[in-house]
Amino acid sequence: MSAVVKLHDIHKSFGSVEVLKGVSFEIAKGEVVAIIGRSGSGKSTALRCINRLETIQSGTLEVCGHRIDNEAVDLRALRQDVGMVFQSYNLFPHLTVEENITLAPRRVKKLANRDARALALESLQRVGLAEKIDAYPEQLSGGQQQRVAIARSLAMQPKVMLFDEVTSALDPQLTGEVLRVMETLARGGMTMVVVTHEMAFARRVANRVIFMHQGKVWETGPGDMLADPKTPELRDFISNGL
Amino acid sequence: MGGSFTVNHLIYLLQGMMWTVVLSALAFALGGVAGFGVMLMRTARTRLLRQISFVYVQLIQGTPLLIVLFVVYFGLGVVGIELPPLLAAGVSLMVYSSAFLGEIWRGCVEAVPRTQWEASECLALTRWQTLVDVILPQAARIATPPTVGFLVQVMKSTSLASVVGFVELTRAAQVVNNSLFTPFLVFGIAGVLYFALCYPLSRWSRSLERKLNVGRRQAA
Ligand SMILES: Nc1ncnc2c1ncn2[C@@H]1O[C@H](COP(=O)(O)OP(=O)(O)OP(=O)(O)O)[C@@H](O)[C@H]1O
Ligand SMILES: [Mg+2]
């Protein structure tokens, strides 16, 4: 299998603070990778480098054939291949669910207006929210908003999807519905990079877990590694929770 | 002596009032277009554009409108460009409004959370598409009350056009008073007419603001 995402020796600093200190990993097509680690260990930063929301200082980074460390990278082509879902949903509050989902396909992929509704419906069915197509974001629960955000990203037919603690802002009883949607996506063959604090999800759904610590990939392995940590830091992280 | 205040005097004042409205509308329309440009430059990615527009805004905001008016009317007159008073006043107010509206609108654009830009960027929308489809509709909501509020300022500022001989409401009142010598009555009436123009706008601005706050509370 070919790697869709390749990070090699990535260094990233904010000002004088080095946040990523030589991060390397590869993600194959169809693979689901969970990134775990303490707050401040650089998980979000690593994820945001993958679709170039952050620029790196050194290292090589290739995503879906786009060389992201290259200044001349076609960002719009990259963003069509890489979807992203945020902790805070970031839906467009002035647009309906349908408009939220179809805005980018209409503007970027020149989807005809008459086909827009069908696309919105299809995407919403994948997250089980077809009946909310005409609602506004503020009329939805947090879990529903996050599922719409996933549908919005799916509608662009990305090759890779990035998730940054997408359930962290949700009440515990609402995280389940979002995790189930993500699990279905994973089973459907989507390539996913998931930053999460949900250890059970990481274990059950991820093909591989990456434990980040102090800006480095500290330990990596299949979901089972969480039951048998090699490094004291991972052991400590698992037993002390977040 | 001048005689008493007649219907003809009132009609003359009302005509002046009409020109006040025309000048306000002109200033606001031109100033709005220019102010939109200022806002775009103030929020641009290119540093030079931001710097140029910053200096422009500082310069205009730090200069009395009357001086701008003198520069445009008398200054341009000296170099051979003679603008009619309406146009000179319109241009001056445009310059003045563009700086203030540009700043008001920049604030509103920046009040939209950065994450909205980020989410749009991740969906491959261009900067311009993001601005038009995502940011401006949200910014416009916040911008409406202060914009209408500023319109009241513009309306009152048009009285300065009287100094270059443009017969708007204030100038009309001066003319009437010069023949009647009843300043309390004449300028009192002019004041009432200004109030009649501005008060509804102020009320509207405040009710828009209240609605906005209610909307916010519901969304939260
Ligand atoms: N835009 C920024 N400017 C300056 N420092 C930043 C910025 N973003 C992140 N950092 C710093 O980089 C470090 C890593 O942050 P990052 O958000 O990647 O951590 P994280 O592992 O995602 O943590 P969390 O679990 O809290 O989300 C932190 O020390 C953080 O303060
Ligand atoms: Mg994070």
CA-to-CA distance for B193 and B14, rounded, in angstroms? 8
Residues B40 and B171: their CA atoms lie apart, in Å, by 36
- Does A53 contact chain B (CB < 8 Å)? yes
User: Shortest CA distance to A43 belongs to which of A206, A217, A189, A235?
Assistant: A217
State how far residue A101 is from chain B, nearest Cα, in angstroms: 10
**Residues A155-174, mean pLDDT to the nearest whole number:** 93
Asked if residue A14 has its Cβ within 6 Å of ligand 1, the reply is: yes
Rounded to 10 degrees, what is the CA torsion of B14, B19, B21, B26? 170
Architecture of domain A3-43+52-241: 3-Layer(aba) Sandwich (3.40)
Which pLDDT value is given to residue A1?
53
Instruction: Give A212 Cα–ligand 1 centroid separation in angstroms.
Output: 13
* Closest atom, ligand 1, to C-alpha of A41: 21
- Ligand in nearest proximity to the CA of A54: 1
If phi > 0 it is left, if psi is from -120 to 50 it is alpha, else beta; for residue B125 that is beta
Whether the per-residue pLDDT at A6 is higher than 90: the answer is yes
| Three-state secondary-structure class, residue A39 | coil
Q: Which of A53, A84, A94 faces B137 most closely, judged by CB atoms?
A: A94
Cα angle value B29/B30/B36 (rounded, 5°): 90
pLDDT bucket at B220, cuts 50 / 70 / 90: very low
Domain membership flag for residue B1: no
How far, in Å, from the CA of A44 to the mean position of ligand 2?
4
Average of per-residue pLDDT values in chain A: 93
Q: What is the per-residue pLDDT for B2?
A: 59
Could you tell me if B72 and B88 are in contact, meaning their C-beta atoms sit under 8 angstroms apart?
Answer: yes
Amino acid at B206: R
For the CA of A195, the nearest atom of ligand 1: 22
Q: Residue A3 has what pLDDT?
A: 86
- Average pLDDT score over residue span A122-144: 95
- A51 inside 8 A of chain B by CB: yes
Would you say A36 and A197 are in contact if contact means Cβ atoms under 8 Å apart? yes
Which of B117, B123, B120 has its CA nearest to residue A81?
Answer: B123
Task: Answer with the residue of higher pLDDT: B39 or B213.
Answer: B39
- Please give the residue range of the domain that contains residue B87: 7-219
Report the residue of B116, B123, B125, B134 to disrupt the A interface, i.e. the one with the largest count of A CBs within 10 Å: B123
Average pLDDT for residues B98-106, to the nearest whole number?
A: 97
- pLDDT of A11 higher than 90: yes
Which pLDDT score, from 0 to 100, does residue A239 have? 85
Average pLDDT over residues A134-160: 95
- Per-residue pLDDT of A94-119, as tens digits, reads 999 999 999 999 999 999 999 999 99
In a domain, residue B2? The reply is: no
Q: Positive or negative CA dihedral for B130, B135, B138, B139?
A: negative
Average pLDDT over residues A31-43: 95
Ligand 1 within 6 A of CB of A37: yes
Going by DSSP bridges, is the β-strand pair A160-164/A191-195 parallel, antiparallel, or unpaired? parallel
How many Å apart are CA A235 and CA A231, to the nearest integer? 6
Taking CB atoms and an 8 Å cutoff, what residues of chain A touch B118? 53, 86, 90
Confidence (pLDDT) at B217: 47
List CB contacts of B89: < 8 A, sequence separation 6 or more. Answer: B23, B27, B69, B73, B158, B160, B161, B164, B166
A138 CB neighbours in chain B (<8 A) are 218-219
Residue that is written with structure tokens 């037919």 in the block: A157
Determine the average pLDDT of the residues in B137-145: 92
List residues bridging with A26 in a β-sheet.
Answer: A6
CA A86 / ligand 2 centre spacing (Å): 10
Ligand found nearest the CA of A36: 1
What ipTM did this prediction achieve? 0.93
- The CA distance from B205 to B220, in Å, is 23
pLDDT at B219: 45
Total residues found in chain B within this entry: 220
Q: Which atom belonging to ligand 1 lies closest to the Cα atom of A48?
A: 18
A153 contacts B124? CB cut-off 8 A: no
Q: What percent of chain A shows pLDDT beyond 90?
A: 85
Q: Cα distance from B50 to chain A (closest Cα, Å)?
A: 22
Q: Is the CB of A194 under 6 A from ligand 1?
A: no
Closest residue in B to A149 (Cα–Cα): B119
**Residue type at B159 in one-letter notation:** S
Question: In chain A, where are the structural domains located?
Answer: 3-43+52-241
Chain B CB contacts of A55 under 8 Å are none
**Out of A17-21, A104-108, A223-227, B35-39, least confident range:** A223-227
The 8-class DSSP code of residue A137 comes to G
**Position B12 confidence tier, pLDDT thresholds 50, 70, 90:** very high
Which is higher by pLDDT, B2 or B213? Answer: B213
Q: What residues contact A136, with CB distance under 8 A and at least 6 apart?
A: A93, A95, A96, A97
Domain assignment present for B73: yes
- Which of A84, A88, A103 is closest, CB to CB, to B122? A84
CATH label of the domain that carries residue B163 = 1.10.3720.10
If pLDDT is split at 50, 70 and 90, which confidence band does A186 have? very high
What is the domain count for chain B? 1
Domain presence at residue B175: yes
Whether residue A51 contacts residue A75, with contact meaning beta carbons closer than 8 Å, is answered with no
CB-neighbour burial class of residue B77 (10 A; exposed 0-12, middle 13-18, buried 19+): middle
Average pLDDT over residues B111-118: 96
Q: Least CA distance to A108: which residue of chain B? A: B125
Extract the tokens encoding A226.
Answer: 């969480």
CB within 8 A of B182, min separation 6: which ones? B2, B5
What pLDDT, on the 0 to 100 scale, is given for residue A241? 62
Output the residue whose Cα is nearest ligand 1's atom 5: A14
Report yes or no: A97 and A119 within 8 Å, Cβ to Cβ: no
Helix, strand counts (H, E) of chain B: 10, 0
pLDDT tens per residue across span B148-204: 999 999 999 999 999 999 999 999 999 999 999 999 999 999 999 999 999 999 999
pTM of the model as a whole: 0.90
Residue B216 binned pLDDT confidence (cut-offs 50, 70, 90): low
Our answer on whether the CB atom of A152 is closer than 6 Å to any ligand 1 atom is: no
